[in-house]
């Protein structure tokens, strides 16, 4: 039996080597159904269907059936040298394994038509010369070049899907000429093309590029095409992005590592972002222009265009999404739009608004906006009325982003509800009065809208001293910090703690500052010399119960309560406007409160609340301590000596001070605020024993 099998194999070798035209000569081709093994060192020419069970055939195999209305079945195996010609459609229906060529794949001319199952593929490890057409009229059916050494590709045929998966690169040679109808997928390595050795993208074809693939030069194109980026690493765009007309149809950015544009890019249909698009680097600024009415699509909350996005062909009566999910522009009416037809918005995350000398009371985001006419010329200011949706990052996506992505500086965390849009005018940022407050939020953004914008220019988000909110200028004294008493005493407090560098940069984690939920986020980088200590201001809607708001502040030597960020009077923004009692609390003095409610409402004028004269104090002047007189006028202060975390001064307070004597540093038992616990502190608590605050907690 073995002799018979060897004899049959020898006959097949002879047929393959000596009689290459034997199969072709048959008038009615039969199926080559091989269940054995063909040892080929020459050429096997097949004109019928092929069913071959062996994995690999050496030598050259040609499929040459020629018939205008019939087909030829191609065996899905590995060939060394694979060649096609003839008008019979070459069918490759097996989706379970590819047709593989090891050294050469050739389709002779335009008459060669391949019919690939949508999920089947041809894999070429060597050179490809393709002059035929894969799935004409369809955009499915894949040719993959995945060799381990450099490969050449040529011919003027048509690919439905062409995949480049070769780290050693694929080179277009012999003037190229092939066309890609569905998709060029640059998975790994570079498709090396030039202006003379090139290929053509058919209308509405795609270029897919991964973070490991590249294209050497711009392809020729019939008309518009589309580009998709994917992977996980940061990518610099390249020749797959057109620099001239016609523009891209769709730009699909699905790489969370980010895409850097290498030049200006225009899209006339859709922009989709699963990751950031950067339009500028340290040396160059480019633009991404979207000319259609389709808003950018953001897959997830976080992607954005970091840099400049231009929206053109704007129409009145609708809102146009800009660089991120919550940034937008729009004109309500044609009259408000005027000659404006486009808006250029430059959005720079994690960027201090320029000029930096304007202050640090802003979030780390900078906007530059220009309103343009139909010829991209800046429209004169005040000739339009624009609505501008602005936003900034306030929270990271847990597990995916670092905390450094947050753009609210610590000093502004208490005011996120009321931060407004600011425009740079002259030498400072001023608020746009039409900003809508409170701001809204989702899981990563804060956002709001400012209407009535009629100027191009630089914009920021933050606070301003001229903002139309309630500004409280309050003054009171701390008994313990006074250094002179009696007749003609100077109502100035000592700054011993500051002089000893004992005032902590963040409020102490003890009562009353633990009442303020965001006090731990406050940080003073440089403590002013005039600071005495930390204070807490409380706004309560009722004497007991009701709604309560807190502001952690500093108190200066002249008694003024100041903001720990601006060192100016307190701007009240994170509050529902209405009427409130105002309470002042210190860590070792009895609290005091206004005897009437203050109306907290948006006004530009400051309200001066002076409690040093003992008036407007709940419970009257008896709730404070007479500290001295000046020019015949009495002045009062908060009563010192309460060190036991309650609202009265008893024997227990005296004992606690005595138990902690001889300590030097920042301590609640230091009732005279000089940094040393001594008999002076004991005397203060002893002299005020029996006193209690009329202010409830």
Give yes or no for residue 465 having a pLDDT over 80.
no
All structural domains of the chain, each given as residue ranges with its CATH number in brackets, are: 300-468 (2.60.220), 470-687 (no CATH)
In sequence order, the 6+-apart residues with CB closer than 8 A to the CB of 9 are 36, 37, 39
pLDDT (tens digit, 9 = 90+) per residue, 547-566? 899 999 999 999 999 989 88
Instruction: Give the pLDDT of residue 603.
Output: 54
pLDDT (tens digit, 9 = 90+) per residue, 361-409? 799 999 999 999 999 999 999 899 999 999 999 999 988 889 999 999 9
pTM of the model: 0.68
Give yes or no for residue 461 having a pLDDT over 90.
yes
The better pLDDT of the pair 432, 596 is held by 596
Q: What is the mean pLDDT of residues 521-536?
A: 94
Alpha-helix runs per DSSP H in 349-413: none
Q: What is the mean pLDDT of residues 164-188?
A: 98
Instruction: Give the pLDDT of residue 100.
Output: 98
Q: Residue 499: phi, psi to the nearest 5?
A: -65, -30
Give me the sign of the Cα torsion angle 433, 435, 437, 439: negative
Give yes or no for residue 227 having a pLDDT over 50.
yes
Confidence class for position 6, pLDDT limits 50, 70, 90: very low
Strands (E), 65-169: 71-73, 78-84, 89-92, 99-107, 113-116, 121-124, 127-130, 133-134, 142-145, 151-165
pLDDT (tens digit, 9 = 90+) per residue, 103-150? 999 999 999 999 999 999 999 999 999 999 999 999 999 999 999 999
Confidence class for position 602, pLDDT limits 50, 70, 90: low
**Cis omega before residue 441 (within 30°)?**
no
- Name residue, tokens 């914008």: 453
Give yes or no for residue 19 having a pLDDT over 80.
no
Instruction: Give the pLDDT of residue 596.
Output: 92
């Amino acid at each position: 039996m073995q002799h018979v099998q060897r004899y049959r194999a020898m006959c097949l070798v002879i047929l393959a080597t000596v009689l290459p035209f034997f199969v072709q000569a048959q008038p009615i081709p039969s199926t080559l159904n091989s269940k054995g093994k063909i040892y080929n060192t020459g050429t096997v020419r097949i004109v019928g269907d092929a069913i071959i069970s062996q994995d690999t055939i050496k030598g050259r195999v040609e499929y040459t059936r020629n018939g205008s209305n019939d087909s030829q079945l191609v065996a899905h195996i590995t060939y060394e040298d694979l060649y096609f010609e003839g008008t019979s459609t070459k069918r490759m229906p097996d989706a379970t394994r590819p047709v593989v060529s090891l050294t050469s794949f050739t389709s002779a001319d335009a008459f060669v038509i391949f019919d690939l199952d949508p999920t089947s593929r041809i894999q070429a490890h060597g050179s490809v010369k393709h002059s035929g057409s894969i799935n004409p009229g369809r955009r499915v059916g894949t040719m993959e070049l995945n060799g381990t050494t450099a490969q050449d590709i040529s011919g003027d045929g048509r690919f439905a899907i062409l995949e480049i998966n070769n780290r050693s690169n694929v080179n277009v040679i012999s003037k190229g000429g092939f066309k890609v109808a569905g998709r060029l997928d640059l998975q790994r390595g570079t498709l090396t093309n030039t202006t003379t050795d090139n290929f053509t993208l058919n209308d509405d074809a795609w270029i897919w590029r991964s973070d490991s693939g590249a294209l050497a030069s711009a392809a020729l194109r019939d008309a518009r095409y589309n580009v998709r980026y994917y992977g996980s690493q940061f990518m610099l765009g390249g020749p797959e992005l057109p620099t001239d007309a016609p523009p891209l149809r769709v730009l699909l950015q699905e790489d969370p590592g980010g895409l850097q544009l290498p030049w200006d890019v225009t899209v006339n249909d859709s922009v989709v972002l699963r990751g950031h698009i950067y339009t500028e680097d340290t040396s160059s600024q480019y633009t991404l222009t979207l000319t259609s009415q389709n808003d950018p699509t953001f897959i997830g909350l976080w992607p954005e265009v970091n840099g400049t996005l231009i929206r053109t062909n704007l129409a009145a009566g609708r809102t146009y999404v800009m660089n991120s999910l919550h940034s937008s522009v729009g004109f309500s009416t044609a009259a408000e739009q005027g000659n404006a037809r486009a808006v250029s918005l430059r959005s720079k995350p994690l960027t201090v608004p320029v000029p930096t000398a304007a202050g640090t009371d802003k979030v780390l985001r900078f906007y530059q906006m220009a309103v343009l006419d139909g010829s991209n010329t800046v429209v004169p200011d005040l000739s339009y009325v624009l609505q501008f949706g602005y936003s900034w990052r306030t929270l990271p996506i847990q597990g995916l982003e670092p905390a450094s992505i947050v753009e609210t500086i610590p000093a502004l965390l208490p005011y996120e509800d009321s931060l407004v849009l600011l425009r740079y005018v002259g030498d400072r940022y001023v608020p746009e009065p039409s900003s809508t407050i409170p701001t809204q939020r989702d899981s990563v953004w804060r956002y709001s809208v400012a209407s009535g914008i009629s100027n191009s220019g630089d914009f920021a988000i933050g606070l301003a001293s001229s903002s139309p909110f309630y500004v409280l200028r309050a003054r009171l004294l701390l008994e313990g910090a006074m250094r002179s008493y009696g007749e003609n005493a100077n109502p100035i407090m000592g700054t011993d703690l500051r002089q000893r560098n004992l005032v902590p940069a963040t409020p102490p984690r003890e009562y009353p500052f633990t009442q303020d939920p965001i006090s731990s986020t406050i940080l003073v980088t440089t403590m002013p010399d005039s600071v005495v200590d930390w204070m807490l201001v409380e706004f309560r809607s009722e004497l007991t119960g009701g709604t309560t708001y807190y502001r952690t502040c500093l108190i200066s030597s002249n008694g003024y309560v100041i903001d720990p960020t601006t060192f100016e009077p307190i701007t009240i923004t994170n509050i529902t406007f209405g009427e409130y009692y105002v309470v002042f609390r210190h860590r070792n003095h009895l609290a005091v409160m206004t005897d009437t409610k203050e109306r907290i409402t948006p006004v530009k004028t400051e309200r001066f609340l002076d409690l040093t004269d003992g008036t407007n104090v709940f419970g009257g002047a008896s709730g404070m301590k007479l500290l001295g007189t000046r020019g015949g006028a009495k002045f009062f202060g908060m009563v010192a000596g309460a060190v036991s975390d309650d609202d009265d001064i008893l024997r227990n307070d005296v004992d606690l001070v005595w138990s902690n004597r001889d300590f030097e540093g920042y301590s609640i038992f230091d009732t005279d605020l000089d940094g040393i616990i001594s008999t002076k502190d004991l005397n203060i608590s002893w002299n005020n024993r029996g006193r209690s605050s009329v202010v409830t907690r």
